[in-house]
């Protein structure tokens, strides 16, 4: 199954999240059932990222958005863990600092866009400025509504001027699943630090966030920077779908190993002859 076709938001479409099942898992019924396929795509991601790094003419930007406890960190750990850390950079965008608020909303994001040959992952992103800012009325509608065009231009510039391929994932969980994950954080000492009262307070805005996300999809999903709505109640299925989509995106670039920039035959000839002429080192 091609999950790009299943989960993509076509440009101009406005999907209704209420019509999407966050518990969907395709043909797979369990993590064990999906394990082999997931590993296949993780292995392919490792190979393709090596080609991207070596080729150094393209880059990849992965945007992760979700409700609280939606699985952004888990996706970074599992899927991006298949890639070489030397070629990947993860940036998390939280509440803007005082310095960041003195600039336009894209100022803090642009320096983290990937250089050629690199993969950049945004754990939350510039979309917070048309989500949180809208839901909590941090700026008036006359301000946040104009940001869709700015975002579109920003992403178009990355694609057009720097060969940056962009994939954007909304990890979609149900309110019930979110509450269960909050409960797990409360009872697990290793995850106590991840829970706060604000997590529960934000649940009051669930419907507002859902409407805001639906507008984001309609306004900013494009051919060069598509949105994918990933059913994420099952963490293992989320990992499978995301890894397949990223692998397919990299496959489409047609990456190749670069040609050597030196005379390999001369190097082989000269160094091989030198090695043969060196006296053997006698063992003691």
Residue 244 has pLDDT above 60, yes or no: yes
Domain spans, the chain: 3-277
Q: Following DSSP, what letter does each residue of 226-254 receive, concatenated? A: -EEEEE-SSHHHHHHHHHHHHHHHHHHHT
152: which 2 tokens? Answer: 């579109």
Q: What mean pLDDT do residues 274-279 have?
A: 61
User: What is the per-residue pLDDT across 85-130, written as a single tens digit (0 to 9) for each?
Assistant: 999 999 999 999 999 999 999 999 999 999 999 999 999 999 999 9
Burial 245-277 (b: 16+ CB within 10 A, else e): bbbbbbeebebeeeeeeeeeeeeeeeeeeeeee
Residue that has been written with the tokens 């954007």 in this structure: 168
Of 57, 176, 76, nearest in space to 115 by CA:
57
* Residue 9, SS3 per DSSP: strand
Model confidence band, residue 2 (pLDDT cutoffs 50, 70, 90): very high
Interior/surface letters 123-149, b for 16+ CB within 10 angstroms, e for the rest: bbbbbbbbbbbbbeeebeeeebeebbe
The phi-psi region of residue 50 (left if phi > 0; otherwise alpha if psi is between -120 and 50; otherwise beta) is: alpha
What is the reported pLDDT for 79? 83
**Cα 107 to Cα 101: distance, rounded to the nearest angstrom:** 9
Burial per residue of 178-214, b for 16 or more beta-carbon CB atoms within 10 angstroms, e otherwise: beebbeebeeeeeeeebbeeebeebeeeeeebbebbb
Q: Which is it for strands 119-123 and 59-66: parallel, antiparallel or unpaired?
A: parallel
pLDDT at 9 over 70: yes
pLDDT at 266: 85
CATH architecture classification, 3-277? 3-Layer(aba) Sandwich (3.40)
Report how far Cα 264 is from the mean position of its chain's Cα atoms: 38
Q: What is the DSSP letter of 200?
A: H
Spatial neighbors of 129 by CB under 8 A, at least 6 apart, are: 105, 144, 147
The pTM of this model reads 0.93
Tell whether the model's pLDDT for residue 282 goes beyond 60.
Answer: no
């Amino acid at each position: 199954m091609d999950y790009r076709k299943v989960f993509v938001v076509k440009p101009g479409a406005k999907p209704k999240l209420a019509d999407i099942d966050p518990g969907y898992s395709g043909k797979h019924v369990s993590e064990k059932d999906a394990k082999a396929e997931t590993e296949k795509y993780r292995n392919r991601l490792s190979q393709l990222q090596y080609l991207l790094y070596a080729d150094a003419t393209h880059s990849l930007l992965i945007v992760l958005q979700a409700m609280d406890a939606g699985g952004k960190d888990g996706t970074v750990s599992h899927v991006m863990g298949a890639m070489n850390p030397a070629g990947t950079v993860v940036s998390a965008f939280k509440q803007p600092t005082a310095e960041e608020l003195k600039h336009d909303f894209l100022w803090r994001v642009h320096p983290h866009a990937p250089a050629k040959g690199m993969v950049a992952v945004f754990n939350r992103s510039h979309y917070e400025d048309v989500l949180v800012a809208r839901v909590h009325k941090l700026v008036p509608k006359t301000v946040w509504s104009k940001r869709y065009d700015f975002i579109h231009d920003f992403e178009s510039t990355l694609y057009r001027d720097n060969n940056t391929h962009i994939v954007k994932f909304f990890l979609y969980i149900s309110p019930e699943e979110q509450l269960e994950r909050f409960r797990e954080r409360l009872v697990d000492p290793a995850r106590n630090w991840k829970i706060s009262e604000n997590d529960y307070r934000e649940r009051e805005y669930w419907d507002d966030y859902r409407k805001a996300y639906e507008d984001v999809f309609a306004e900013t999903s494009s051919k060069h920077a598509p949105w994918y709505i990933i059913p994420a109640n099952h963490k293992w299925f989320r990992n499978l779908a995301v890894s397949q989509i990223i692998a397919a995106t990299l496959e489409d670039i047609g990456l190749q190993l670069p040609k050597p920039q030196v005379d390999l035959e001369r190097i082989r000839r000269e160094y091989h002859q030198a090695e043969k002429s060196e006296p053997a080192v006698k063992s003691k």
